[in-house]
Structure 1
Amino acid sequence: MDKSGMHASRISREYDDEVKEFLDFAKRSLPNNNGRFFCPCKKCCNLTKLSANDIYDHLICDGINLSYTKWIWHGEGGERTSTSNTYVDNEANEDDESEDRLDEMFRDVGEEFADRSNELDELLSDSKQPLWPGCSKYTRLSAVLKLFNLKAGNGWSDKSFTALLGLLKDMLPEDNELPKNTYDAKKILCPMGMEYEKIHACPNDCILFRNDYKELHACPICGASRYKPREHVVGNASLKGPPAKVLWYIPIVPRFKRLFSNPSDAKNLTWHVDKRISDGKLRHPADSPQWKTFDNAFPEFGHESRNLRLGLCTDGINRHGNLSSKHSSWPVMLVIYNLPPWLCMKRKYILLCLMISGPKQPGNDIDVFLAPLVEDLKKLWDEGVIVFDAYRKENFKLQAMLFCTINDFPAYGNLSGYSVKGHKAYPICEENTCYYQLVHGRKIVYMGHRRFLDRFHPYRRLKKAFNGQQDYRNAPQPRTGFEVYERVQGINVTFGKTQKLISQRGKKTKTNVEIRSNEKSPWKKKSIFFDLPYWKTLDMRHSIDVMHVEKNVCDSIVGTLLDIKGKTKDGLNARLDLIGMNI
């Protein structure tokens, strides 16, 4: 079938006739589709079923996806089953199958690059262009990919990689298509890179300049300029300098699509259902009570084994190494708990989605920067996205949920909105936290651990080894998500480093007018995660990572037992405090 008309101008009669012929072909080839077919326009990329009239409008307005050369989703060369998007080719051979897989990959990423169709077409042509005339082993794209894998795996510099490309280009036949330097090689792979967003932020962490604030040049809360001032202005150059603060956001939806476009990754993402051993032992998050309770509460979500359960982790890093200890940038990462235990914490499966730039840590204002990620998580829960599963050869609606956060204790306080310092620093006990102010050490210690032991544990009877008293109290019960939500929903917080907290905690405002309340609460804010519809139903929303607990506790114990200088907790003040506590 001659398809050259699809490359003609969209306002030409030739293109219009070709579109009509395409629709007639689809109707003849797939008569049982009730008049609805996958739309192959540049925006839909065969991901959405529409009526023939709507497809005609899309193809005229947006044009056809030029990488869709074989109309396999509309009956060319075989039949697509009615229950799934699996294609059955009656004439297929091994070469055709590999070509179809390549087309499927580009169809899957086509939605991301709908506005970059020319680059995608170039990438597709590079994937079919031999490295030199007659070469059957490598294409231009596959050769560059293999070389870049070697570069990344061995830590080559750009300079050495350019020298290698120049040497290889001289060794190969004269009419080879290998790029001559690193810059040209990166241009070939550019369309395969992940999209990202640079979102300007208020330098005082009050807002992000997006949505309603997108066109503003100053923060509406603190008045700080969105841009740094230029020191030297030449002629009529713009006075607008670089942004004062930038949030880097890498959207998560395209990355999930890419995971499922790889057959081996798509297979591993259902390991928790297909290959996990269910014998009552806790080896995987899927064995936890929260996983099972969530499936019972939302059976539609739990029925689809490919729906993702995510863990969020963040902490401050000093990207300048030891050169400066005053800088703190905060990466926010997601881990996928669907994967088997030996893969889910591997570097390639940990998704960096946000980079909050410093130099100051976001602290309580981290909710401002989490807004783009939470919006995507809400979309993945409420609507879902159509994703192609390369392992099962079908499209399905992908949903995802945030299973929990996992951080150290200070970051726990930033994300949950709970004050992790002072007399009520223990989130389980809250107002009933057993604290003791050391007289000589001038620190607050928490002594009520024996409440969590068994009722008749011998430690409950001991006096001298603890604080001179026996302890038979019952352990406090953690508050449910609904109870926490009731406590925090009335808290009024204005984000920003220059703003004082106005809440029920009784803090003072800028005008020193005290906001009085009947009860001072340890909660500082309503966490942005409560915007997720399911968040309040989770039994465990925030976790403490094992590494920090083990390291800090082990360092203190070993340092004290071995009397390591700088590590031991034993000293004159500690001895005097022990006497004061009858220990």
Structure 2
Amino acid sequence: MDKSWINMPRNTCQYMDGLNKFLDFAFANKSVEGKIICPCPKCNLKKWQTREATHEHLILHPFPKGYTFWLLHGETSFVQNTTETPPVFQSNEHKVSGNDPIRVMVNDAFGNFFYDDNVEDDEDMRPRSSEMMPDEIAEYLKFMHDGQQSLYEGCGKYSKLSFLLKLYHIKCLCRMTDKAMSMILELLADAFDYAKIPCSFYEAKKIINKLGLHYTKIYACPNDCMLYYGEDKDKEVCKKCNESRWKRRKKNKTIDGTMKKQKKVPAKVLRYFPLKPRLQRMFMSSKIAEHMQWHASGSTNEGILRHPRDSEAWKNFDLMNPQFASDARNVRLGLAADGFNPFGDLSTSHSTWPIVLIPYNLPPWMCMKQSSFILSMIIPGKRAPGNDIDVYLRPLIEELKELWNNGLKTFDSYSNEVFNMHAAILWTISDFPGLGTLSGWNTHTGLACPRCNFDTSPKKIQGKFCFMNHRRWLNARHKFRLARIHFDGSVENRNPPLTISGTDVLRQVENVNIIFGKEPEVEELGKRQRRDHQAIDGPLQWRKKKNLCSKVLKVDELNQLQNRVVLTLCHMEILFPPAFFTVMVHLIVHLVEDAKLGGPVQYRWMYPIERYLGKLKSYVCNKAQ
């Protein structure tokens, strides 16, 4: 029997004809009460099925290349001679090879619609038959039919879809404009009229966009007062400042004197990338789905920090939420935010704020790679959002609440089952000014340190706040506590500030009334501000990097490091003037405790985010948009 159809795409006529011939042969020779043993490798040759069930099952679970499956389905010659060499696959020159990586990628992308029919007993979790296929599966089949066509008759290397995806990849890497792409496609279509090449980039995008993962445009008030979203999506003016949602444009007249109709242009647009389909897509690839459970598969050693899963914050979160922690596939995320000028210069005339989510379920060698980052939204400039960033975070917060409370039915291609996926934000990542933007904590006053909270006593010298008195972190019997002359002339008897809990923070902000929005007039642009987190570059910072930036942290060594850091800061208070001790110098005393709470610092610092922002900046070619 010819077996070459096994390696053909499942949407081809050759595959369907070969499958039907095999089923006819198998049921004629080895059927028992109208059933045969399912030859699918996922069933391990143990499951008995009818012809219709076997037909549908083999479409959803194709055979691996060279799989010899009819040992128990009627071929006696194969049973007698088990050393027989399987027939060589004869490729069809008019179709793309069955090992096409683009086809594998598409199958992974749409894998959530192809469930195993014995995954769950719940009817909603079962796959639907061909007569009850959902719209998504029908769209997928049409997409496969259109996209898996060979580029031209006789081409076995590129399909129409793979050619367009590779060309689109070149466009992104080389930063080509849409117009240049359309001109290239037009030239290729004209030169190779026998090939299935679209004549414009617009037509090419119509094919590529079927892969999904689109973004949503949400109009916003130009003064950051509100989003035209949800119940406010049809409003024409802002409900706070009465500013129009559209740009003001000059009215043009035609030759006969009538007013020319102009298309309305929104004043400000938020680009939001929905989180749910992106998390689902991670579980559609069997390799990534396996890695998403890595944090629960490995063993953890007490006293050693290798991953955020070893941190106190992760473990306390699991203790407080046992139902969430019961399934290792539930996603734990970090939220990173920072502003940058997308126009390639160093001026502060424009500030765009991307919001990035980082999945911490992944192992260390994948967690902080740019390929694992999830771009959540792009908050437009020209002014930084400031405290009004909460206005733009509303769609993400609503989606996270739904994922936390209700979950989302997701297909796990590694376990071959459907589960209810939940997600949670563990912490945020930002530089210190960005921390003030995300949390609302004022980082420019005497209470700038969020860890000390209100239990601090800074000194103001010529309008500048100085954070000293690090002797309170020393041992209670240390001699520096009584040294009046070498410090500020006082004896230090206080204990370190108490760690503030989440309940304390909620109690502090429960009566805070926040009014979003900015004044309509444009603020004057000042000189470029210095990045405070780069102010210290001396022996203390070098020693902190050497110890805290290790791949593996030991809790015992961190305790010793904390004592050395506090003692070094006290020696610096003796040598340096008070003006040297800004809040950035003071924050060094909290870094060791942060490492205990959150794990190794590589998973929570800004360096990978800054590199990612540099990559996004390289994509911006048009300063007008």
TM-score, reference length from structure 2? 0.61
Cα offset, 1:390, TM superposition: 1.9
- Which of 513, 519, 523 in structure 2 is aligned with 1:492? 513
Which residue pairs with 2:344 in the alignment?
Answer: 321
Equivalences for 1:271-282 in 2 at 5 Å? 271-275=294-298, 277-282=300-305
Of residues 451, 457, 461 in structure 2, which corresponds to 1:438? 461
Q: 1:554 aligns with which of 537, 540, 555?
A: 537
Between stretches 192-201 and 271-280, larger displacement belongs to 271-280
Kindly indicate whether the alpha-carbon contact (under 8 Å) linking 2:466 and 2:579 is maintained by their aligned counterparts in 1: no
Cross-structure match for 1:343:
366
Query: Partner letter of residue 55 of structure 2?
Result: G
Select 1:213's aligned residue among 218, 226, 232. Answer: 232
State whether residues 78 and 90 of structure 1, in contact with CA within 8 Å, keep that contact through their aligned partners in structure 2: no
Kindly provide the amino acid, as one letter, of the partner of residue 206 in structure 1.
C
The one-letter amino acid of 1:285's match is P
Corresponding residue for 2:150? 130
SS at match of 2:535: helix
CA contact (8 A) 1:433 1:448 kept: no
- Tell me the SS of whatever aligns to 1:403: strand
Residues in 2 aligned to 1:366 and 1:109: alpha-carbon distance in whole angstroms? 36
Q: Name the counterpart of 2:389.
A: 366
The structure 1 segments of at least 4 consecutive aligned residues displaced by more than 6 Å after TM superposition are 86-93, 95-101, 114-119, 156-172, 555-559, 574-578
1:144 pairs with 2:127: no
- Following TM superposition, by how much is the alpha carbon of 1:153 offset from its aligned partner in structure 2, in angstroms? 4.9
Q: Could you tell me how far 1:549 is from its partner in structure 2?
A: 7.7
> Structure 1 272/486 Cα, relative in aligned 2: closer, same or farther at 3 Å?
same
1:469 aligns with 2:490: yes
Contact 2:466 2:578 in 1 (8 A): no
Q: Which amino acid aligns with 1:449?
A: H
* Change over 3 Å in CA distance of 1:90–1:122 after alignment to 2: closer
Closer, same or farther: CA 575–246 of 1 in aligned 2, 3 Å: same
Q: Which amino acid aligns with 1:75?
A: A
Task: List aligned pairs for 1:147-546, cutoff 5 A.
Answer: 147-153=167-173, 175-179=194-198, 182-234=201-253, 235=258, 237=260, 241-275=264-298, 277-322=300-345, 324-439=347-462, 442-457=463-478, 459-498=480-519
Q: For residue 53 of structure 2, what is the amino acid of its counterpart?
A: G
Name the structure 2 match of 1:513.
none
Q: Which one is further off, 400-409 or 117-126? A: 117-126
- The structural deviation recorded for 1:484 is 1.3
1:91-147, Cα deviation, whole Å (9 max, x unpaired): 99769999899556435389xxx8888865542213431223344443221233334
Which whole-Å deviations, capped at 9, do the CAs of 1:26-73 have from their partners, x for residues lacking one?
Answer: xxx99xxxxxxxxxxxxxxxxxxxxxxxxxxxxxxxxxxxxxxxx99x
The whole-number CA distance in structure 2 between the counterparts of 1:151 and 1:245 is 27
Which ranges of structure 2 fall in alignment gaps of 5 or more residues?
A: 1-33, 36-48, 68-96, 115-133, 521-530, 543-571, 581-625
Question: Which residue of 53, 69, 80 corresponds with 1:75?
Answer: 53
CA deviations 1:492-539 (Å, max 9, x no partner) are: 22211149xxxxxxxxxxxxxxxxxxxxxxxxxxxxxxxxxxxxxxxx
Identity %: 36
Letter in 1 for 2:496: A
Structure 1 gaps, min length 5: 1-28, 31-70, 81-85, 500-547, 560-569, 579-583
Identify the range of structure 1 (325-334 vs 174-183) with the bigger mean alpha-carbon deviation.
174-183
Aligned positions of 1:109-120 closer than 5 A:
120=140
Q: Report the CA distance shift for 1:167/1:464 in structure 2 as closer, same or farther (over 3 A).
A: farther
Higher relative contact order (Cα pairs below 8 Å, separated by 6+ residues): 2
Shift of 1:328: 1.3
Shift in CA distance, 75/233, structure 1 to aligned 2, threshold 3 Å: farther
Moved more, 147-156 or 191-200: 147-156
1:211 partner letter: G
In the other structure, the counterpart of 1:108 is 112
Other structure's SS at 1:232 match: coil
Matched residues in 2 for 1:232 and 1:116: separation? Answer: 44
Deviation at 1:459, TM superposition (A): 4.4
CA separation of 1:236/1:123 partners in 2, compared to 1, >3 Å: closer, same or farther?
farther
Q: Tell me by how many angstroms 1:421 deviates.
A: 2.2
Cα distance between partner residues in 2 of 1:577 and 1:325: 26
**What letter corresponds to residue 384 of structure 1 in structure 2?**
G
- Closer, same or farther: CA 406–343 of 1 in aligned 2, 3 Å: same
Q: By how many angstroms is 1:414 displaced?
A: 2.2
The verdict on how the C-alpha distance between 1:464 and 1:345 changes in structure 2, with shifts beyond 3 A counting, is farther
Displacement after TM superposition at 1:388 (Å) = 1.4
Deviations for 1:315-374, whole angstroms, at most 9, x for unmatched residues?
Answer: 111122327522112111111111122222211111111111111111111111111000
The Cα offsets for residues 213-252 of structure 1, whole Å up to 9 and x where unpaired, read as 1221111112111111221244455577311222111101
Letter in 2 for 1:437: K
In the alignment, the residues of structure 2 paired with residue 167 and residue 279 of structure 1 have an alpha-carbon distance, to the nearest angstrom, of: 64
Deviations along 1:266-293, one digit per CA (max 9) or x if unpaired, are 1221121224653531111100111111
Mapped partners of 1:310, 1:351: distance in 2: 10
The number of aligned residues is 438
Letter in 2 for 1:250: F
Structure 1 residue 187, shift from structure 2 partner:
3.5
Q: CA 1:102 to 1:424, structure 2 compared with 1: closer, same or farther past 3 Å?
A: closer
